[in-house]
Structure 1
Amino acid sequence: MVNSKSKLPELLAPAGDWETLKVAVAAGADAVYVGGKLFSARQYATNFDRDELAKAADYLHLRGRKLYITVNTLIKQEEIDDLLDYINFLSAIGADAVILQDLGALYLIRTYWPQLPVHASTQMTVHDGAGVRLLKSLGVERVILARELSWEEIKAIHEESQVEIEVFVHGALCVAYSGACLFSSLVGGRSGNRGRCAQPCRLTYTLYQTTGRGRAVPVSEKEKHLLSPKDLSLITAIPQLIVAGVSSLKIEGRMKGPEYVGTVVNCYRKALDRYREAPEQFRVLREELNALTTVFNRDLSSGYFLGDLGPALASPERPNNRGRFIGRVKQYDQKRKRCLVKLEEDLCAGDGVEVWVKVGGRVGTIVENLTVNGNRVDVARAGEEAWFALPQEVKPGDRVFLTSSVSLQKKIQEMLRPDYSGSKLPCHLQVKVAPGKNLVFTMEGLGEKVVVTSADQAQAATKHPLTEEILHHHLTRLGETPFRAASFTSLIEGNPILPFSQLNQVRREAVARLSEKILTPYRRPLVDLRQVKEEVMEAATLKKRSGPSFLTVFAGNLDLLKVALAAGIPKVIFGGESFTPGFRWTKEHLAAAIELARQAKAKAIIALPRITREREKKAIASYIRISNELQPDGFLLSHLGSIQMVRDYSDLPIYANYSFHFFNPFTLKLLQKQGIAGLTLSPELNKGEVFALVDSPLLSEVEVELLVFGALELMISQFCPIGAWVGGSKPRNCSRPCRQQRYFLRDRKEIDFPVMVDEFCRMHLLNSRYLSLLRELESLKEKRLSLRLELRHQDPEVAARVIHLFQRGLAGGGGEADHATLESLLGQELTRGHFYRGVE
């Protein structure tokens, strides 16, 4: 437990527009994060243009707050020039940090803007201490951790790395690991990695089980929001957050407005300040909890912070605003179109309410004609029965929820007033004046001090001399400036007099000079981009890659591996998660796989799991040591922590999986020192983008791999719908029904998405249609590519036939006849993914 003198973590607020930014400051945020019109992961927010960003930087800095700007999308090669211009601008206006997802952008910023702090976005999918250590070595000042971590894991990560840690504490909770989700991209063409997520996870699904006879049986209620989590709220966990060493408490909500942001920030501000005053007596007030449940929420939970919740994490009934329960309907007057409600909490005229009717969904209204005992009232109290107008019929017993509060709205409007004290920087003012001398006015704020003297000397007054009251009146009139007078002292000798116009001029000059003095340190010089763009141009100058391409198989078990090697596949990948019931990649299985590959003279690559939590560190370290002893030809790694851990124990070559999102060649530049021997291109790239990267001189010396077949993973989630809706329990108590039967989610259009669960109880949702570039092999076969067949989820017999068809394709087949054979074999239509459409 920290004492009352300890520094509190930063309170970080979102802002999607200018009004929300002002409210965030007024409500007590220490810093605000916003997105510009470019490269922002919330492209559907209003966001800030360049003039507004510059204005926001000054607005915040003059009030002692910080501005972080999200540049947290993946950057295409053709966008690099725009990125460089944008970063140069953000550096010059004094951004306190940029929040990044793209590793290539990190390389460019650390190379050419070393003074610009970088925060690693949660889109980087950092979930272990090793990943934080690697990012620290790459020049990242702060890491925003994955939302799936417990507070014990966060504490361990902080103690290991001593890097600033930022944690989401309130707002929407993605069901998937951020940065590990292609659901919106592959299903709807709107990529979350490019800021355009369509949130298909919030739609309705039915969970089905496939029986031994191949029949599909529903095992959940029909069309529920099975992948829609409750919103996160950790206000009651502030003590654990502080003990864990969290540097910044982040509120989600750049798509939300001033009422939401102002209310949430204000509640957390008050709670943090109360903790500082008396940590041992910390508690959250009921009025604060009520406020948090009045603004937008899908019901609230602690997420994963206090341990995996299982089914309690989800909100299957609805994916949108829930509000706060305040009472039940007692009666509905059909003639007068009004209802009587027995209140359990206060209700005000002007409040927004929603009645959850038993049939037909929800009935909402703004409360008008509020009466109690026949009397019109502005407020009906808890325990009373109140009538109000409601145009649609409801039934006795229906629940009533408060969805907006007129009192909260008034509070937000007050915060928006230009003279609101919470929006201003407290300053200390001092004035000295005497006849025959210039008035001297001193203004101090944020550790800076300016001294301004009057243009003329004061005269001796014959009547009406300057008094402390007069000086206070004129010199503390700071109006719409960023400042307010926290203290004012005056030293008056004799009976001086000066024109009031000079007092006002002194005040205005002091404000201008103090503003300039505060802002000057933030002004960074612009970088000459000519040298930078020469390197970019060199990377984009195509150097045609040529040579025979070959097939690679990612095998999910030994039987599949044997099939691949028997077919003469020259490179095999195995290991990592197991999706085969009763099978795991033990030391014996890995050793057997290595021996089989050596006998077949095939290159053997051992994969690590896509996600490795901090709590799994010992097991993963043991896995790496065992694998290293077997001396494979390299490791296939899928996240930053894996790179660091492998480098802790091995000097074998590293192959970077597509989850590193290779959208531009500078991503490889950043990772070159880690010994990257090969990389897999992102499945979100189109054909032109693939070929531009393949032919980049920066990639000429590494093996480049492209996914050409498989059921691609739409998302990876710590939440398992099978355990939640079949097992009905938290993961630690789950009976593992996933190991007995196969399951899938069916959407409203009758499209089925297979659900796979690994041995770590993480859910992998697969695409409904297999990716196949069989018909595109003609354009790929002479590009010196490793063409990966993802066969981890296949039956060995089917896998053998898939391999045969792709071998025919490389030998000159792969036409419509073979494509039709493949569709018949798999019993479905195939997709070419983004190979032609790409993502915006």
Structure 2
Amino acid sequence: MRSDLEILAPVGSFESLRAAVQNGANAVYLGGKDFSARASAANFGRDELEEAVKYCHIRGVRLFVTANTIIKQNEVEDFIEYMRFLYNIDVDAVIVQDIGMAMLIKKLMPDFELHASTQMAAHSIEDVKYLKSIGFKRVVLARELTIEEIEYICKNVDVDIEVFVHGALCVCYSGECLMSSMIGNRSGNRGRCAQPCRQKYILEDEETGKIIETEGEYILSPRDLNTVEEIGRIVDAGVLSLKIEGRMKRPEYVATVVSVYRDAVERYINGEKSIVTPEEINELYTIFNRKFTRGYILDEVGLEIMNSEKPNNRGLYIGTVESYNRKSKRLKIKLENNLKKGDGINLGGGTIGRILKGNNICEEGYKGETIEIDFIGDAYIGQKVFKTSDNDLIEKARKTFDENSENVKIPLFMNFEVKIGKPPVLKVYDEDGSSVHVYGDKEAEKAIKVALSSEKAETQLKKLGNTPYKAEYIECSIDDDATIPVSMINSMRREAVERISAERVKINDRKYKFTDISYKSEPRSEEYNSYSTDEKKIRVKLKNLEQLKAVVDFDIDKIYYEDIYTFEAAKDICESNNKKIIYSAPRIMRNDDYRVFEKLEGVITEQDDVLVSSWGEIKYFTEKFGCGIRADWSLNTFNGESAEFMRKSGIKSVCLSQELNIGEIDELEEFTDIETEVCIYGYTPLMISEYCPMGVLVRDCHKEKRCSDCRKIKYSLVDSSGNRYRLSQNEFCRTTIYNSEPTMILNNIEDIENTDTDVFRLDFTIESGELTREVVKAHIEAIEENMYSADKIYERFDNITTGHFYRGVE
């Protein structure tokens, strides 16, 4: 295998850890009890974490800890204390999302390896270059990227690249989803996603009220990724790490998937024609799938990505129902795959008892046969039957990670020296540079009868039994007439194994230990903040010229404008009205998408600013246009450290995360001097996705992009409670799903006025020009303590929400 290639396995428990390591993973990722983006997984306590590091390092496996949630201000000190613990127990790397915390780790523990979580939404070479420039050793790319994009990044950036190759997909770009947060108060950015994408929705034409017919009701639910049959393409792209998703899955899943991928990769590297067997494919289907897709990474799109029929395990297709006799309670199945006694199927639950072939009772039915089983429930002719569990597969997987199993054997090299009159010495070393010398507790003597032979010594030294080691090479230097007790050789061997294990645990040679690492959050002094004033500014973010013309005459501090195709015209309008306009860049910009920014050449100058929404845009606009940079809320600024990172990077202002409550906003303000904005009005974008329900479900769009058609008609998703989520399409054929009701706190605006927030921002998306004008007017008057328009504006909406201002997220 390519020496640097990594199979990275998910670990949710110690059993899963053994399953991953014993089936060939050479790196694992897991979460502790705190700060992990899978808060509902079992996760590891501190003692377990320390044992996990020892277990992995002894067996030559790297261990990464996920701390990939955004961190509240009052959690910062606890977070750093936790990082110090991970650092001191020799965790190999930490996976983070929060930019402020990443920079703190880099400052306090410079040699602690940082991985940029997929939650950081790195979806372009510009993103990767930026993250590398600020200290990340590895970047986990967004799951939406194609193999061609990934290969281009790998060839042009000197940083470790990690990609997902198997497991669950999100319909939204990771780190950009607020749907669970806004609907159910469970934040995906805080590791508590309630998976609203796995719920039922209908698609409705807003103008006609027509319900769009779909094959299933789970129209936001993606299939599971499975790239094993073309894993060679991903290996050849130059990625370092092949990542398997599944920290919530059982250890048998981990064992099965890791084993199949490890074998497939090894076969590909060795040049074998067939890299995966039909039996292995069946094992992947049986252990868990929501239907499989090769994913965006291998060029599948639309319905090839989605499974609207069922949001949970589908199982392995084994055949169809030929008949069902309710009287005899016999179900006849035409098999297209094997079925055994004890297997589970998707009809009625439970497991298969006897299998009948005519009058014969059998243990197993084979592909091509027609069998009968005892069955109570509902079934119809032609119904597809799926195997959802397989006892033999589960048992096979369990055997690989039994507590006494040691499938991974580390080669040891031994030099054994026995000289008469001196204590024997055993030198043991491994391929990684660890070595130990063990001395016998007595001197070697001259043999009276039988001397110790090299063959006898080697036989004893090879007895490594149920340890993670094998004797690769043994060199013996023994005096001709020397002898020592066999028990001494055994004792020396055991001591050498214990000591080499201890050496292998501490592999990172950390420079900053224990009391060397300290941190305490210190609020700024009152005179430090150069921005905060009692007078609050209003800024608006607009999508089109209609909205702009409706508000350009108001007393607005600055206008953010999204449409690049009409930006030049918008700038002319603003200059005529003595207003400052700032281009607002899209949240997702893939490699080739950056070419659209050529339209801004000659329009944006060094005197202008740009509102950026991704990490790569910071680098791009600074270098390409030399303009000022302002950071939008999608960069998830959640604490003062993140805000201060922005300020020290030369960024002029930052819009705070929409998941903060008023108290948390106020607390954050004490720890930064950057100009801060808070969105106090708008239909919050809940998701941004490569999947287009309008194009796929309405127009059967495949790879061609016809988003202009999709934008002509207004569509909404409607959930089981009747909430309507408007959809919109941008120029790159990406779909945004907006909240069903706008966030607005006009009636309580004094609460946010009492914080040190500098700017109130109003974000307009689907509103008409007329409504945009009314909303801006109401907010201006509310700040001036004239609530007449504010009271009237509430009548324009069926429902409103105060967002997270009074609740926040867990």
Judge same fold: TM > 0.5, yes or no: yes
Q: 2:249 maps to which residue?
A: 256
Q: 2:435 maps to which residue?
A: 449
Matched position secondary structure for 2:732: coil
Matched position secondary structure for 2:491: helix
* 1:511 is aligned to 2:484: no
User: Paired residue for 2:666, among 691, 715, 720?
Assistant: 691
Q: 2:40 maps to which residue?
A: 44
User: Paired residue for 2:758, among 759, 780, 785?
Assistant: 785
Q: 1:681 maps to which residue?
A: 656
Q: 1:323 maps to which residue?
A: 315
Q: 1:598 maps to which residue?
A: 575
Q: 2:612 maps to which residue?
A: 637
Structure 1 CA distance for aligned equivalents of residues 229 and 771 of structure 2: 53
Q: Is the 8 A contact 1:205 1:223 kept in 2?
A: no
Decide whether aligned partners of structure 1 residues 488 and 411 sit closer, same or farther in structure 2, where only a CA change above 3 A counts: farther
Taking the TM superposition and a 5 Å limit, the aligned residue runs for 1:364-443 are 364-433=349-418, 438-443=423-428
Deviations 1:265-290, CA, capped at 9 Å, x for gaps:
101100111111116x3543222211
Code of the aligned partner of 2:227: L
Structure 2 CA distance for aligned equivalents of residues 602 and 693 of structure 1: 30
Matched position secondary structure for 1:365: coil
User: Paired residue for 1:628, among 595, 604, 610?
Assistant: 604
* 1:533 is aligned to 2:519: yes
Code of the aligned partner of 2:78: D
Q: 1:573 maps to which residue?
A: 560
Shift of 1:653: 1.6
Shift of 1:470: 5.2
Q: Is the 8 A contact 2:705 2:733 kept in 1?
A: no
Decide whether aligned partners of structure 1 residues 148 and 465 sit closer, same or farther in structure 2, where only a CA change above 3 A counts: same
Deviations 1:391-431, CA, capped at 9 Å, x for gaps:
43433332221212222212222112344342342323454
Code of the aligned partner of 2:501: S
Matched position secondary structure for 2:623: helix
Q: Is the 8 A contact 1:107 1:669 kept in 2?
A: no
Deviations 1:687-739, CA, capped at 9 Å, x for gaps:
1011122343x22xx32111011101001001111111001121415474322
Q: 2:795 maps to which residue?
A: 824
Q: 2:680 maps to which residue?
A: 708
Matched position secondary structure for 2:33: coil
Q: 2:261 maps to which residue?
A: 268
User: Paired residue for 2:104, among 108, 111, 120?
Assistant: 108
Deviations 1:17-72, CA, capped at 9 Å, x for gaps:
00001010011001000000110000000000111111111111111110000010
Structure 2 CA distance for aligned equivalents of residues 33 and 549 of structure 1: 45
Shift of 1:338: 4.4
Structure 2 CA distance for aligned equivalents of residues 673 and 135 of structure 1: 16
**Stretch of structure 1 that moved more, 453-462 or 219-228:** 453-462
Shift of 1:803: 1.3
Code of the aligned partner of 2:774: R
User: Paired residue for 2:775, among 784, 793, 802?
Assistant: 802
Decide whether aligned partners of structure 1 residues 531 and 493 sit closer, same or farther in structure 2, where only a CA change above 3 A counts: closer
Matched position secondary structure for 2:441: strand
The percentage of aligned residue pairs carrying the same residue is: 36
Q: Is the 8 A contact 1:323 1:401 kept in 2?
A: yes
Deviations 1:582-603, CA, capped at 9 Å, x for gaps:
xxx32xx322222222232222
Matched position secondary structure for 1:455: coil
User: Paired residue for 1:147, among 143, 146, 167?
Assistant: 143
Matched position secondary structure for 2:334: strand
* 1:62 is aligned to 2:58: yes
Q: 2:217 maps to which residue?
A: 224
Decide whether aligned partners of structure 1 residues 126 and 277 sit closer, same or farther in structure 2, where only a CA change above 3 A counts: same
Q: Is the 8 A contact 2:19 2:251 kept in 1?
A: yes
Code of the aligned partner of 2:693: P
Structure 2 CA distance for aligned equivalents of residues 203 and 399 of structure 1: 23
User: Normalization by structure 1: what TM-score?
Assistant: 0.91
Structure 2 CA distance for aligned equivalents of residues 99 and 161 of structure 1: 19
Matched position secondary structure for 1:829: coil
Q: Is the 8 A contact 1:775 1:819 kept in 2?
A: yes
Decide whether aligned partners of structure 1 residues 538 and 803 sit closer, same or farther in structure 2, where only a CA change above 3 A counts: closer
User: Paired residue for 1:745, among 717, 720, 723?
Assistant: 717
Matched position secondary structure for 2:407: helix
Deviations 1:163-207, CA, capped at 9 Å, x for gaps:
111000100000000000000000000000000000001101100
Structure 1 CA distance for aligned equivalents of residues 611 and 14 of structure 2: 45
Q: Is the 8 A contact 1:8 1:276 kept in 2?
A: no
Decide whether aligned partners of structure 1 residues 89 and 746 sit closer, same or farther in structure 2, where only a CA change above 3 A counts: same
Code of the aligned partner of 1:654: I
Deviations 1:279-338, CA, capped at 9 Å, x for gaps:
6x3543222211111111101111111325112211000000011111123344545544
Taking the TM superposition and a 5 Å limit, the aligned residue runs for 1:269-348 are 269-278=262-271, 281=273, 283-334=275-326, 337-348=329-340
Shift of 1:210: 1.9
Structure 1 CA distance for aligned equivalents of residues 524 and 324 of structure 2: 71
Code of the aligned partner of 1:514: I
Shift of 1:610: 1.2
Structure 2 CA distance for aligned equivalents of residues 249 and 793 of structure 1: 40
Q: Is the 8 A contact 2:707 2:730 kept in 1?
A: no
Shift of 1:471: 4.0
Code of the aligned partner of 1:807: I
Q: Is the 8 A contact 2:539 2:760 kept in 1?
A: yes
Q: 1:241 maps to which residue?
A: 234
Structure 2 CA distance for aligned equivalents of residues 453 and 555 of structure 1: 77
Structure 1 CA distance for aligned equivalents of residues 310 and 285 of structure 2: 15
Matched position secondary structure for 2:220: coil
Q: Is the 8 A contact 1:543 1:695 kept in 2?
A: no
Matched position secondary structure for 1:456: coil
Give aligned pairs, total. Answer: 806
Q: 1:359 maps to which residue?
A: none
Code of the aligned partner of 1:838: G
Structure 2 CA distance for aligned equivalents of residues 82 and 339 of structure 1: 59
**Stretch of structure 1 that moved more, 635-644 or 541-550:** 541-550
Structure 1 CA distance for aligned equivalents of residues 265 and 94 of structure 2: 25
Deviations 1:427-474, CA, capped at 9 Å, x for gaps:
234544466554433333233333323222344555576566754554
Code of the aligned partner of 1:720: C
Gap regions ≥5 residues in structure 2: none
Deviations 1:368-410, CA, capped at 9 Å, x for gaps:
2234444444333222233334343433332221212222212
Shift of 1:236: 2.2
* 1:125 is aligned to 2:95: no
Q: 2:16 maps to which residue?
A: 20
Taking the TM superposition and a 5 Å limit, the aligned residue runs for 1:452-463 are 452-461=438-447
Structure 2 CA distance for aligned equivalents of residues 270 and 499 of structure 1: 44
Q: Is the 8 A contact 2:315 2:387 kept in 1?
A: yes
Shift of 1:82: 0.4
Q: Is the 8 A contact 1:36 1:50 kept in 2?
A: yes
Decide whether aligned partners of structure 1 residues 540 and 756 sit closer, same or farther in structure 2, where only a CA change above 3 A counts: farther
Code of the aligned partner of 1:628: I
Matched position secondary structure for 1:427: strand
Structure 2 CA distance for aligned equivalents of residues 669 and 282 of structure 1: 53
**Stretch of structure 1 that moved more, 731-740 or 805-814:** 731-740
**Stretch of structure 1 that moved more, 395-404 or 767-776:** 395-404
Shift of 1:129: 0.7
The two structures, once aligned, show a CA RMSD in angstroms of 2.4
Q: 1:652 maps to which residue?
A: 627
Code of the aligned partner of 2:303: P
**Stretch of structure 1 that moved more, 170-179 or 562-571:** 562-571
Decide whether aligned partners of structure 1 residues 126 and 623 sit closer, same or farther in structure 2, where only a CA change above 3 A counts: farther
